[in-house]
Structure 1
Amino acid sequence: MKSQKISFKNHDMAWDISALLLTPDNFDPSKKYPAIISVHPFGSCKEQTSSSIYGKALADAGYVVIAYDASFQGESGGLPRYVEDPAQRVEDISRAIDYAVTLEYVDENRIAAIGVCGGGAYAFNSALTEKRIKAVIGITPVNLGRLFREAFSEFNPLAALEAMAEQRSAEAKGAELQVNELLPPSIEFAKANGLTERDVFEATDYYKTPRGQTEGGATRMLFSHAQKTLSWDAFAFAEILMTQPMMAVIGQKVGAFGGYRDGKEIYGKSFASKDRQLVELENWSHYDLYDNPEAVGIAMQSILPFLSKHLSVHG
């Protein structure tokens, strides 16, 4: 696998999107390749699981992969920083496809999307209306709107919205931006303060240790600009609009972020899909599916035949 840092923008964008373009070792630009748009988790960046794990595995299997940083995050442009806007996140997928179809070696009729955690739900949501996506995969997909309405707002979304409104007005009048850190600062802090729920603890182990810690993976959110997340549903209208082949990969070791539950929901709603598949991994958790070699290997045993069937690496 070869990796090249690139950037792109659309005519309607005021900033660049930073991305990694991953190609197979035997890449020949005179040939046509199927392409995968790889979407990183909430609070993550392109250098983490979306490129280094799933992007690499897919490029090694013969795909061209574009793993990019979301607008306002990582090395991509956009101000203010640390905005997590679901509509923008979904639009970024279309912009990555816009770039992909300009590459002479990409077959624009063989494009798929894959995402991890929040990125998986964004990929599913994009596929509802972005029919250039011919197949879509969510790895432990988390519907961020549902998570914000529940655990992230302490099950009081109206109070969260009131606080966001107050903070946004204060910032408009010159107050300092409120950027919330979403995880404990260290494993030791988590243990000392009883923050040992599976997903919280394992997220800390991934994002706050050398295992996955990367400069662009900020795990931060601009509080005052998160209002619209609470009214967003990644899976709205999936019963009608999810027509492409889809696969949800989930671990049966359940945590508070809800990837297991959300994966089952989108699978259940996707009955209009031409080929819907639910892959349950019995002994693995949400964050095992980020980078655990055995868990990822098992997942890829389902992912690669699915993509080959619908994109035909050699076709």
Structure 2
Amino acid sequence: MERIDFPNGPITMAGALYLPDGVDTTDATGLPAVVVVHPGGGVKEQTAGTYADRLAAQGFVALAFDASHQGESGGEPHHLEDPSARVEDVRAAVDHLQSLDLVDPERIGVIGICAGGAYAVNAAMTDHRIKAVTTVSALNIGDGYRQGWFGADPVSAAVPTLDAAAQQRTAEARGAEQAFVPYVPEPDQVDDSTPRDMAEASDYYRTPRAQHPNADNRKLFTRSIARIMAFDAFHLVEDLFTAPLLAVAGSEAGSLWHTTKLHGKVRSPKKLVIVEGGTHMDFYDVDAYVDRAVAEAVPFFTEHLAETASPVPA
């Protein structure tokens, strides 16, 4: 693994490039590559790095990175979750891979976990350099904030949250300090009423299980709320998404409805894998579930990022 930086407009992105064993970067060419997109609030050292490492072990160049405004990447204010910026991050990662001599620019795919999966889909809708997409525990973050974790709330239920965000922005315009809200509950806030996935998210992000100093999931800049609420990663996916899709999720995940909704809308070649007993967070670091997702992704990317014959000169 090599620590790298790459440009994203005026922002410098912090990345980790994972290479297959034995690859000599001085003379290797034509390798397939995969961009790995981390969940909302995560960083490259967590689940994204886990998937990148395992894909590299199977022969792919894999690029994990910190989202703009998060982790070690640039962009101010920090702790901002801006879906449009997250989608542009994916495009910038593809730019960087295409600049590398060792990567075949026509053999690049994307895998995203949680919100990263939906961002990967949205990027591929309008960036057809992306030849294949895998989602793992996909979460369309806009739908999740509008309709709740289980998708049971009417969209109108989001109005009070938007009202509160507007009031906070007014306060900040008048000199108040910036406000933040948590992505996940603190461990001492988890009780019997906490959805299982949220309890597991707290355990993942807020305990030594996967806690990282660059992923402070206690902080989501309040100004993220309006941007998230207005975003729909799957809007127009029926018509603009043309890449092959592999969608993996657990049968016990409260977020499963995002994956089934996406799979139902996509018209391109697609495969849905629902892993019995899996929760949303199981696919972050539980070996049995990560191994299953990678076992599905490797042949999928191998097929759809296959080397094509060079055109025969006329």
- Give the TM-score normalised by the residue count of structure 2: 0.92
Which residue in the other structure is 1:230 paired with? 229
1:304 and 2:303 correspond = no
Q: Distance in 1 between matches of 2:243 and 2:274?
A: 20
Q: Distance in 2 between matches of 1:204 and 1:99?
A: 33
Q: Distance in 1 between matches of 2:18 and 2:258?
A: 29
Deviation string, structure 1 residues 154-210 (Cα, Å, up to 9, x no partner): 862112112111211221222100011222222xx144x435421111101111121
1:89 and 2:86 correspond = yes
Q: Which amino acid aligns with 2:170?
A: S
Shift of 1:108: 0.3
Task: Give ranges in structure 2 of 5+ residues lacking alignment.
Answer: 310-314
Provide the aligned C-alpha RMSD in A.
1.8
296-305 or 83-92: which moved more?
A: 296-305
Shift of 1:151: 2.2
Report how many residues are paired.
302
Aligned pairs (5 A) from 1:184-199: 184-186=185-187, 189-191=188-190, 193-199=191-197
When residues 218 and 209 of structure 1 are mapped into structure 2, their CA distance, relative to the original with a 3 A threshold, is same
Shift of 1:98: 1.0
Q: Distance in 1 between matches of 2:131 and 2:82?
A: 24
Deviation string, structure 1 residues 70-109 (Cα, Å, up to 9, x no partner): 0100000111111111111001101111111111111100
Which residue in the other structure is 1:252 paired with? 251
When residues 216 and 300 of structure 1 are mapped into structure 2, their CA distance, relative to the original with a 3 A threshold, is same
Q: Distance in 2 between matches of 1:101 and 1:172?
A: 42
Shift of 1:313: 7.3
Shift of 1:314: 10
Which residue in the other structure is 2:165 paired with? 164
Which residue in the other structure is 1:125 paired with? 122
Q: Which amino acid aligns with 1:270?
A: V
Deviation string, structure 1 residues 36-91 (Cα, Å, up to 9, x no partner): 1100001111110011x211110101111110100100000111111111111001
Shift of 1:17: 0.6
1:25 and 2:26 correspond = no
Shift of 1:239: 0.7
Shift of 1:295: 1.0
Aligned pairs (5 A) from 1:1-315: 3-10=1-8, 13-29=9-25, 30-31=27-28, 32-51=30-49, 53-151=50-148, 156-186=157-187, 189-191=188-190, 193-219=191-217, 220-255=219-254, 258=255, 260-271=256-267, 273=268, 275-312=269-306
Please give the secondary structure, in 2, of the residue aligned with 1:57: helix
Q: Distance in 2 between matches of 1:229 and 1:102?
A: 31
Q: Which amino acid aligns with 1:27?
A: V
Q: Distance in 1 between matches of 2:194 and 2:162?
A: 27
Q: Distance in 2 between matches of 1:300 and 1:251?
A: 14
Q: Distance in 1 between matches of 2:224 and 2:304?
A: 38
Q: Distance in 1 between matches of 2:85 and 2:47?
A: 21
Task: Give ranges in structure 1 of 5+ residues lacking alignment.
Answer: none
Q: Distance in 2 between matches of 1:225 and 1:14?
A: 20
Q: Distance in 2 between matches of 1:308 and 1:151?
A: 36
Deviation string, structure 1 residues 237-261 (Cα, Å, up to 9, x no partner): 1111111111110100132xx2x11
Q: Distance in 2 between matches of 1:182 and 1:71?
A: 17
Does the CA-based 8 Å contact 2:91-2:127 persist in structure 1? yes
Q: Distance in 2 between matches of 1:57 and 1:182?
A: 27
Q: Distance in 1 between matches of 2:130 and 2:85?
A: 17
Q: Distance in 2 between matches of 1:287 and 1:27?
A: 32
Q: Distance in 1 between matches of 2:231 and 2:42?
A: 20
Does the CA-based 8 Å contact 1:168-1:225 persist in structure 2? no
147-156 or 261-270: which moved more?
A: 147-156
Q: Distance in 2 between matches of 1:235 and 1:15?
A: 26
Q: Distance in 2 between matches of 1:266 and 1:304?
A: 21
Please give the secondary structure, in 2, of the residue aligned with 1:137: strand
Q: Distance in 2 between matches of 1:79 and 1:301?
A: 38
Q: Distance in 1 between matches of 2:182 and 2:140?
A: 20
Shift of 1:150: 2.0
128-137 or 290-299: which moved more?
A: 290-299
Q: Distance in 2 between matches of 1:132 and 1:314?
A: 15
